[in-house]
Amino acid sequence: MRHQGRFRSLVSEHLHSVNRAVNGLSALSGTAQPMAATKAMYRFLANEATILPALIEPAQEAVRDALARSATPIALAVHDWCMFSFRTHTAKKDLFQRTHAQDLGYDLGSCLIVDANSGRPLGPMELRLRTADGVLTTRPGEVLEPVAHIDELLGTMNDSRRWNLGKPLVHIVDREADSVGHYRAWDRAGHQFLVRAKDDRVVRWKGEAISLKALQKRLEPEFADPPDGPASVTKTKFGPAKVQVLEVEIVLDRPAKTRTAEGRVETPGTPLTLRLILTQVVTSDGEVRARWLLLTNVGAEYKAAEVARWYAWRWRIESYHKLLKTAGMNAEEWQQECGEAFAKRLVIASMACLLIWHLQEDGSEEAERLKKILQRLSGRQKKHKGPATAPALLAGLERLLAVLNLLETEKMEDIVDLVRKVLPRLVNSS
């Protein structure tokens, strides 16, 4: 890639932008002044030769390498959206209005690849940023402005065939994607999917039309002895709990309600047979703390409990978006004045997140020691024996890089001497 050397430098130095007060890069290799770094960032993001499809190539290649080393037979392509709010940022002229007049910003759609065996996030394969002027994307070619989020997914699924990941994909989406018409289109195109359904979804079960809520209630007694064997006890956010799984076959035979610019229209379609995987988390006192209704066309060679575990890892993409926002990169504080520059910076920030994920997975003695140092530098609290969190590692690495940058021009003994001389004097004079 033409700008690969500069890109690597930007990824490393972009970790400085974790600080909420930093609007751009605080330093670049080979530059002595923050203003020079700011100008370098501006030139890079404004350069017409720096296009989004080329910019994301290092992240995509990292995903391919990780999957090649993994024993997982498939990969999980997790899809989600998040809004970057800029309603008070008057310099940005291409802000997208999502709902009301004050709901202004950029709407990001992401596809994050996750290891199906371990749940480890491997990196983003596609980003789409919706602005008032249209959709900016890391996908080669033009992307049409969708009517709704879910309308973007078939294009991404079709494009995933050229990603050369070396593993079949299962596309995972939350309840926003519960749509009969889209299920049929994805299945017809040969894509595997796993979607959390809404409980008012009406399906056909054993010839009877019934809502998923009513079906779940009817099947409730069977959860005591799930077909995959005794329910296992695992650690959850609710404490030790049993994860119970039950599977039945259902058919979607109702017309699809398609959302168009003119309104909703009903479209009949071929009946679609899917696996319904009912999952619930039960605490030791018998209380059901969480329920999922999962619809999938994944083959029966994958057991229901395994498929349910795949969906549990969907939260990885929410953590990724959180890292880009308040838990890490503070993207809603960025000062870029157009969506294109903002999108380019998102790709660079995503590579910094990828670095942190790799560090989390590194179990070597050196990596464990570095994680402890970064946790201390971050100043963030964690459970005594719990692992370092991604936000803490990101914050700690930002501070470490700032110190290392300082030590390029200052000697540690001089800094310590200044602290010993000046700070006591200030305390005594106050």
- Where are the chain's structural domains? 4-51+335-412, 197-296
Q: How confident is the model at residue 28 (pLDDT cuts 50, 70, 90)?
A: very low
Distance CA 408, CA 405 (A): 5
The CA distance from 285 to 210, in Å, is 30
The CB density around residue 203, as the number of other CB atoms within 10 Å, is: 24
Report the share of the chain in percent with pLDDT over 70.
82
CA 266 to chain centroid, in Å, comes to: 33
Residue 101 has pLDDT above 80, yes or no: no
Average pLDDT over residues 146-150: 87
pLDDT band at 310 (very low <50, low <70, confident <90, very high): very high
Residue 13 binned pLDDT confidence (cut-offs 50, 70, 90): low
Q: Is the pLDDT of residue 184 over 70?
A: yes
Whether 292 and 311 have beta carbons less than 8 Å apart is answered as yes
For the cut 70, the answer to whether the pLDDT of residue 105 exceeds it is yes
Nearest to 111, CA basis, from 60, 166, 178: 60
- Does the pLDDT of residue 29 top 70, yes or no? no
User: Is pLDDT at 96 greater than 90 in this prediction?
Assistant: no
Q: Position 131: which residue type?
A: T
Decide which of 104 and 264 is more confident. 104
Is a pLDDT exceeding 70 seen at residue 386?
yes
Q: Is residue 255 pLDDT above 70, yes or no?
A: yes
At position 41, the amino acid (one-letter code) is M
Confidence band of 19 (pLDDT split at 50, 70, 90): very low
Residue-level pLDDT at 32: 39
Whether the pLDDT of residue 24 is over 70: the answer is: no
pLDDT score recorded for residue 216 = 92
Question: What average pLDDT does the segment 212-227 reach?
Answer: 80
Average pLDDT estimate for 348-359: 82
Closest CA to 339 of 113, 105, 103: 105
User: Is the distance from CB of 100 to CB of 70 less than 8 angstroms?
Assistant: no
What pLDDT sits at residue 46? 65
Which of the four pLDDT bands, split at 50, 70 and 90, describes residue 415?
confident
DSSP 8-class letter at 162: G
Q: If you average pLDDT over residues 270-293, what whole number do you get?
A: 89
